[in-house]
Structures are given as structure tokens and as C-alpha cells.
Amino acid sequence: MLSLLAGFSYWQLFLDSNIDCDDAYVAGNIIPVHALVPGIVTNIYADNTMYVNTNQVLVKQESYLAKQRLDRSSAALAESIRYTRSQFAQVRQTVAAVSSLYAQREKIEGNLLRYTKAESGGAASAQKVADTRADIAIIDNDIEAAKANHQKALVLTGKSTVLDHPSVQKQLNSSKITFYIGVQKLSPVAGYVANRRVQISQSLESGQLLMHIIPLTGSGLLQI
């Protein structure tokens, strides 16, 4: 009996290749999935150990609050378009102002030429000629100021049009994705679901952890 016990103990200690451990776990790439926007959970399409594909719907949130966010985003887009149009209108106004001042200068220059000729014949006073030259100097200053306003207006619009202006594009992209990301959360990678924390009817905050995805491809999955 003692020899059998001794033999069994030797086999367990030195010959058995299986190792039992209460602290075994799986190590590898673990991708967290977070809520992007606040909302109430209406559907859950993934559970622990379930395999999901890339872009597969994991969680769906209610659409009412998402619709409200879309409406606000659409209103912001409309306001951005109106403001950008006003900026482009300002550019056109500054161009017209410069053109108008040049036209006035041309007219005053014509008057100066006539006054100068008339002065030599005694038909116009020297004061009239001097006043006209002063008017040209004043309008030259006005032209420089109008050109500066034009350049200032151009800085706000750049070489864009209304629809491809950066501020409009920012709001446009926000409007496109607001409703989509508010309604459903997609899996960023293919893999297995782990540590699902989200529940039906749960109120989510932006950035709240929903679950993890453990991808198998290139994950270097190890059992420890």
C-alpha cells in the first residue's frame, strides 16, 4: 500500500503534464466597446462568448432622443449655411465697394483734367483744382480701406464654396452620423464577446463601457 501511494505521489509531482490552477485566464487583445451617445437600450444582439463580425450590430438604443439630436444637428447645419452665405455675400459686397470707389475716382480724375485745362484759360480757379486733387487723395484712402475689408472677408471664406466650407462640412458630417450612431453600436472588429455589461432598458451615458470584443486574428491569444 505504501509503495502504491509513493508511486502515485511521484507521478503527480514529476510525470503528470496537466496543471490545475484556479487563476487561469485568457490574455490577448481586448477591444472595449463604449457608448458614443447617451440613450436608452432597446435591443442587445450579442452576449458573452458569442462570435460577432466586424460592423455587426451589438446594441441598439432608442430613436427618440437620437431624433432630437438629429433635429438639433440639422438646425445647427442650417444656421451654419446661413452664416456662411452671409460671409460670401460680404465678399461680394466688398468687391462691389472697391469697384464703386474706383468708378468714383475715375470720374473725379476726369473732372481734375477738365479743371486743370480750364485753369490755364482762367475758367477754373486754382482752389477748385486743389480741392479736386484732395478728393482724389480721400477716395484713394477709401479704396485702400475697402481692399482691406475685402481681404478680411476672403480670409473667412477662403477658396471654398458654401457647401464645402469647413464650418458647413463639420455640421454636415455631424448631421449624417448623429442619428446613425445614436441608434446602434457596431462591433469594431470580428471576435468573441466578453464581459457584457449592458442591459435592456439601461440608460447609457456617453463613453460608458458596454462590453469587450476579443479578436482571434493576430491577437496572440494565450491561456495562462
Give the pLDDT confidence of 45-73 residue by residue, as tens digits: 999 999 999 999 999 888 776 677 777 77
In terms of Cβ atoms closer than 10 Å to its own Cβ (0-12, 13-18, 19+), residue 191 is buried
Decide if 108 contacts 139 (C-beta within 8 A): yes
Average pLDDT over residues 97-107: 93
For residue 22, report the phi and psi dihedrals to the nearest 5 degrees.
-80, -10
Structural domain including 71 reads 66-175
Round the CA-based radius of gyration of the chain to a whole number and report it.
38
Rounded to the nearest 10 degrees, the angle between the axes of helix 64-120 and helix 126-157 is 160
Residue 34 sits in the same domain as residue 129: no
Residue 141 sits in the same domain as residue 86: yes
Rounded to the nearest 10 degrees, the angle between the axes of helix 166-183 and helix 64-120 is 170
Q: Which three cell numbers stand for residue 156?
A: 473667412
In this model, does residue 18 exceed pLDDT 80? no
Q: Is residue 162 part of a domain?
A: yes
As for how many domains the chain has, the answer is 2
In this model, does residue 177 exceed pLDDT 90? no
Residue 104 sits in the same domain as residue 31: no
Residue 192 sits in the same domain as residue 168: no
pLDDT tier at 189, thresholds 50, 70, 90: very high
Domain of residue 195, CATH code = 2.40.50.100
> Which pTM was predicted?
0.48
Residue 132 sits in the same domain as residue 159: yes
Q: Is residue 9 part of a domain?
A: no
Average pLDDT over residues 117-130: 81
Average pLDDT over residues 196-206: 90
